[in-house]
Amino acid sequence: MATDDTAIEHPVGVGRLGLAWSGTAYVDGKYVKPAWSPPDMIKRENPRVPGVIPSGSSANPMGAAAMTLSGGGQYAIHGTNNPGSIGGFVSHGCIRMYNSDILDLYDRVGLGTKVVVLP
């Protein structure tokens, strides 16, 4: 386990071309095994996606935990049920992590923590 002054690097999946973002946000919510409600953009792309995918469902893209980011509730740092997506440009703007990594980060990070996403 790292000390408070040690940086930890984790592989992630990030936004696809045209969907990635950069800037500063803050952690404004923390959830273990969250249910997922797809944003309007995803519902327009795939109208068959249910309005809510329950916690624990293999179709739930949020994985083991999620931390929502300020700025309108559109983005989160979250786990994934598709570990093969880590390392690529795969999301609608969220930052995906292996479930073991998001659980570790979840324990280390508090509400209000600053998140800087570089281009």
Catalytic residues: 78, 94
CA torsion, points 113, 51, 57, 8, in degrees to nearest 10? -20
Distance from C-alpha of 5 to C-alpha of 65, rounded to nearest angstrom: 24
Distance from C-alpha of 73 to C-alpha of 87, rounded to nearest angstrom: 24
CA torsion, points 92, 98, 99, 103, in degrees to nearest 10? -100
